[in-house]
């Protein structure tokens, strides 16, 4: 319990958190035989590093997604420009004939 509460990655509320049954030995007498209501914050078990990495990855995923959407739009504009060029070329050819 003391090791868990001193982890610098853990958030507030862990100092007074209830004992996590997963940290206890799995002896039959150590298992929960009932569930009782407790007050105070739930023990935080998610890794702070995982949160940081996920947030940073999401930033890049969103940026690359935005860049990809911009590129797609640019491609569509290039296609429309090609269509215009073709139509103008056809008009020019028709006028020359």
**Can you give the binding site for other proteins, defined by CB under 8 A?**
7-14, 41-42, 44, 46, 48-49, 51-52, 54-56, 58-59, 62-63, 66, 70, 73-74, 77, 80-81, 84, 87-88, 91
Among residues 21 and 71, whose Cβ is nearest to other proteins?
71
Residues 59 and 67: beta-carbon distance below 8 Å: no
Among residues 31 and 46, whose Cβ is nearest to other proteins?
46
We find the least distance from the C-beta atom of residue 72 to other proteins, in angstroms, to be: 11
Q: Of the candidates 39, 52, 49, 42, which has an alpha carbon nearest to the alpha carbon of residue 14?
A: 42
We find the least distance from the C-beta atom of residue 12 to other proteins, in angstroms, to be: 5
Residues 35 and 54: beta-carbon distance below 8 Å: no
| Torsion angle in degrees (nearest 10) through CA of 43, 46, 47, 49 | -130
Dist. CA 15–CA 9, nearest whole Å: 13
Among residues 28 and 94, whose Cβ is nearest to other proteins?
94
Among residues 19 and 91, whose Cβ is nearest to other proteins?
91
């Amino acid at each position: 319990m003391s090791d868990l509460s001193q982890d610098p990655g853990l958030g507030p509320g862990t100092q007074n958190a209830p004992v996590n049954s997963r940290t206890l030995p799995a002896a039959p007498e150590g298992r929960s035989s009932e569930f009782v209501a407790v007050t105070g914050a739930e023990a935080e078990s998610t890794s702070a590093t995982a949160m940081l990495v996920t947030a940073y990855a999401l930033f890049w995923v969103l940026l690359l997604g935005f860049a990809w959407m911009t590129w797609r739009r640019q491609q569509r504009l290039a296609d429309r420009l090609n269509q215009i060029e073709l139509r103008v070329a056809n008009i020019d050819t028709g006028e020359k004939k």
